[in-house]
Amino acid sequence: MQGFLTASALKLPRSSLHTAIRAGWVCFSCRRNGALRPTTLPSYRRSFSSSPARRIDAAPKPYYVTTPIFYVNAAPHVGHLYSMVLADVFKRWEVLKGRQAYLCTGTDEHGMKVQRAAELQEVPPKIFCDGNAETFMDLAQKANMSNDYFIRTTDPDHRETVEFFWGRLRERGYIYESKHEGWYCVSDEAFYPENMVEKRVNSMTGKPFIASIETGNEVEWTEERNYHFRLTDLRDRLLQFYKENPQWVVPASRMADVVSWVQNNLEDLSVSRPVSRLNWGIPVPDDPSQTIYVWVDALINYLTKAGYPMWTPGSENALGWPADVHIIGKDIVRFHCVYWPGLLLALDLPLPKRVLSHGHWMMDSRKMSKSIGNVVNPFFAIDRWGVDTMRYFMIYNGGISQDSDYDNSFIVERYKRGLQGGVGGLLNRVTRSKAWNVRSIIQKAHEGGYNALVGECEPMQTEITELREATDALSLKALDFFEEQLNPGRALKEIMEVVFQANRLLQHTEPWNLVKRGEVEAAHQIIYHAAEALRVAGILLQPFMPEKSAGLLDRLGVDQGQRSFDHARFDSDSAYGVSTVPLWGRRTE
SS (H, E, C) 508-574: HHCHHHHHHCCCHHHHHHHHHHHHHHHHHHHHHCCCCCHHHHHHHHHHHCCCHHHCCHHHCCCCCCC
Query: Whole-angstrom Cα distance, residue 122 to residue 113?
Result: 14
pTM of the model: 0.85
CB 433 within 8 A of CB 586: yes
Q: Determine the Cα angle at 16 with ends 13 and 19, to 5°.
A: 140
pLDDT in tens, 54-76: 343 457 899 999 999 999 988 99
Same-fold call for 8-44+62-171+295-385 versus 417-567 = no
Residue whose C-alpha is closest to residue 79's, from 328, 355, 417: 328
pLDDT in tens, 155-197: 999 999 999 999 999 999 999 998 767 777 766 666 777 777 7
**Homologous superfamily in CATH for domain 8-44+62-171+295-385:** HUPs (3.40.50.620)
Strands 101-108 and 404-405 come out as: unpaired
Taking residue 203's Cβ as centre, other Cβ atoms within 10 Å add up to: 6
The answer to whether domain 175-270 has CATH 2.170.220.10 is yes
**Homologous superfamily in CATH for domain 417-567:** Isoleucyl-tRNA Synthetase; Domain 1 (1.10.730.10)
Residue 350: Cβ-neighbour burial (10 angstroms; 0-12, 13-18, 19+): middle
**Could you tell me which residues come within 8 angstroms of residue 580 by beta carbon, excluding any fewer than 6 positions away?**
554, 557
Domain positions in the chain are 8-44+62-171+295-385, 175-270, 417-567
Task: Please report the sign of the dihedral spanned by the C-alpha atoms of residue 9, residue 10, residue 13, residue 16.
Answer: negative
Instruction: From first to last of the 589 residues of the chain, give the pLDDT tens digit.
Output: 444 433 333 333 333 333 343 333 444 444 434 433 333 333 333 333 223 333 434 578 999 999 999 999 889 999 999 999 999 999 999 999 999 999 999 999 999 889 999 999 999 999 999 999 999 999 999 999 999 999 999 999 999 999 999 999 999 999 999 876 777 776 666 677 777 778 777 766 777 777 777 777 787 777 788 999 999 999 999 999 999 999 999 999 999 999 999 999 999 999 999 999 899 999 999 999 999 999 999 999 999 999 999 998 888 999 999 999 999 999 999 999 999 999 999 999 999 999 999 999 998 878 776 666 778 999 999 999 999 999 999 999 999 999 999 999 999 999 999 999 999 999 999 999 999 999 999 999 998 766 555 555 666 788 899 999 999 999 999 999 999 999 999 999 999 999 999 999 999 999 999 999 998 888 999 999 999 999 999 999 999 999 999 999 999 999 999 999 999 999 999 999 999 988 654 443 4
